[in-house]
Each structure stands twice: as structure tokens, then as C-alpha cells.
Amino acid sequence: MKRTKTLVAPSLLAANPLRFEEDLLHAESLGIDMHHVDVMDGHFVPNLTYGLPLVKALKSVSKVPLDVHIMVSNPDAVALDYVAAGADILVFHVEAALHSHRLLQAIKDKGAKAGLAINPGTPVSALEALLPFVDMINVMSVNPGFGGQSFIAQTPQRVQAISKLLRDMGREEEVFLQVDGGINDLTAPLVREAGANVLVAGTYFYGAKDKVQALASLRG
Ligand code: DX5
Ligand code: ZN
């Protein structure tokens, strides 16, 4: 069931690294809702991307919130540094954190929104005890590490299960339910129907010739 307006978060991973500022500002001019920034440490995931200096630089030019997704082995140690660098929403992995509950609270205490990401192979039940404390859930629809991968078909049923848990605790309207990986015009309707209200799109958005049309098809 569709809940609220669908927000779109293009992933910087698919923008041109030689002209991030230009690409981001162009995306903003088309009406995107936030920038999704994938921080990878080469350890929790096999790929290595960028870190604090880039988040700081992006923050200095961006007029929409930065949704920073840290795919790192040590989120307890580094998450607050990303908040200080300018993350408006800080999303870390439930598989990586030692003290997820404590970290969610610490992020919120610093004035940012706190999110939890869950990998495709992790049971939804790993999130349950933490749902009362999150501002966002990121349901990974690919294994994290790379852009341009294929959407995992079992994702909508996982989104639906999390959506139901949020609904049952009366948090459906206040928690962002985000899906990340392989989102395009064909997969977006599947996750919107399942209850997602924030869609990350890297390859599909930044690779589109007609970005206005791409954005419209993601919003549905
Ligand atoms: C994958 C990242 C995603 C990625 C999505 O590890 O978390 O945010 O950029 O890229 P696409 O939309 O190309 O699958
Ligand atoms: Zn991501």
C-alpha cells in the first residue's frame, strides 16, 4: 500500500567524480529530495569510495539534505564524525554496529536523523528491537558495495514486513522506509507498493538521458 509522497535520493556513486558539484546542483534543480552518499571502507564492503572531506565539501554546496550511508566495519567509531562533517541523515549497518541502540541515540543527540541499513541476507527480525528508535530504515535490495547491480526479487516482501512492523507501532508516517540498489522504472513500483517512501537511485537516475522523466517514474 502506498503511504506518503515518494522521495527520491539519487546516489552520488553514479555521478561523474570529475564534476560532483555540477551533477548535484543539476539534480537539485530537477527537484530531487536528498543526495545519497555511499561511504565504503574497502573492508565491510569490497569497494572503497570517499570519506569525511568529501561529505564536508558536498555539504558546503548542497541545498538538500545529505543522506550518508556508511558501509564501514566500525560505525560506532566513525558515525559521529560524519554527522559533524554534514550528514543530515546518518545510516549505518545493523550488521556492523556493536551497539546499534546506543549509536542511534548518539546520532540523534547531535541533531541528525539516525538510520539503520539491513543487508539482503540479514533477517528482518534483526531490526525489530530498534524500530522505535530509528528515523530511517534502508532496506538493501542488492549486496552493498557497488552501483549498477540487479535488484534482488525478494526485497518487496522484506519491505512489506518492515512496513507492517512500523504500522503496528504507529510509526508508519514518521519513519523513512528507504530501498537501495537496482531501483529503476520497473522495480520502483514494486517497492512503492510494498510501502517504501524513499528510493535511492544511482545508475538509473544519473545514467538517464531524460532525468525529468526518470524522476517522475521513480515517484510514480
Ligand atoms: C550500493 C549502494 C547504493 C548504490 C545504488 O552499495 O549502497 O546506494 O549506489 O546504485 P544503483 O542505483 O546503481 O544500484
Ligand atoms: Zn547506499
Nearest CA to ligand 1 atom 4: 147
Nearest CA to ligand 1 atom 9: 147
Q: What's the mean pLDDT when you consider all of the chain?
A: 97
Residue 150 forms part of a structural domain: yes
Residue of 23, 38, 41, 67 marked active site: 38
User: To which residue does cell 525529468 refer?
Assistant: 212
Residue of 23, 41, 67, 180 marked active site: 180
**Distance (Å, whole) CA 15 – CA 26:** 11
Residue 1 forms part of a structural domain: no
Distance of CA 5 to the CA centre of its chain: 16
CA angle 146, 183, 155 (to 5 degrees): 90
pLDDT at res. 1: 41
**Distance (Å, whole) CA 216 – CA 8:** 10
Residue 131 forms part of a structural domain: yes
**Cβ–Cβ < 8 Å for 9, 34:** yes
pLDDT at res. 4: 65
Return the ligand number nearest the Cα of 142.
Answer: 1
Atom nearest to 36 CA in ligand 1: 8
Residue 111 forms part of a structural domain: yes
Residue 2 forms part of a structural domain: no
Residue 213 forms part of a structural domain: yes
Q: At a CB cut-off of 8 Å and minimum separation 6, what does 153 contact? A: none
**Distance (Å, whole) CA 52 – CA 26:** 23
Return the ligand number nearest the Cα of 205.
Answer: 1
CB atoms under 10 Å from CB of 168, counted, come to 10
CATH number of the domain residue 181 falls in = 3.20.20.70
pTM for the model: 0.97
Q: Is 162 in the pocket of ligand 1 (CB under 6 A)?
A: no
Query: Which tens digit of pLDDT belongs to each residue from 28-78?
Result: 999 999 999 999 999 999 999 999 999 999 999 999 999 999 999 999 999
Taking the centre of ligand 2 as the mean of its atom positions, its distance from the CA of residue 213, in whole angstroms, is 22
Q: Does 23 participate in catalysis according to the annotation?
A: no
Q: For 198-214, what is the mean pLDDT? A: 98
Residue 103 forms part of a structural domain: yes
Share of the chain above pLDDT 70, in %: 98
Query: Which tens digit of pLDDT belongs to each residue from 72-119?
Result: 999 999 999 999 999 999 999 999 999 999 999 999 999 999 999 999
Which residues constitute the domain of residue 127?
7-219
Taking the centre of ligand 2 as the mean of its atom positions, its distance from the CA of residue 179, in whole angstroms, is 9
- In the chain, the number of structural domains is 1
On the question of pLDDT at 11 being above 50, the answer is yes
**Distance (Å, whole) CA 164 – CA 136:** 15
Nearest CA to ligand 1 atom 3: 181
Q: Does 180 participate in catalysis according to the annotation?
A: yes
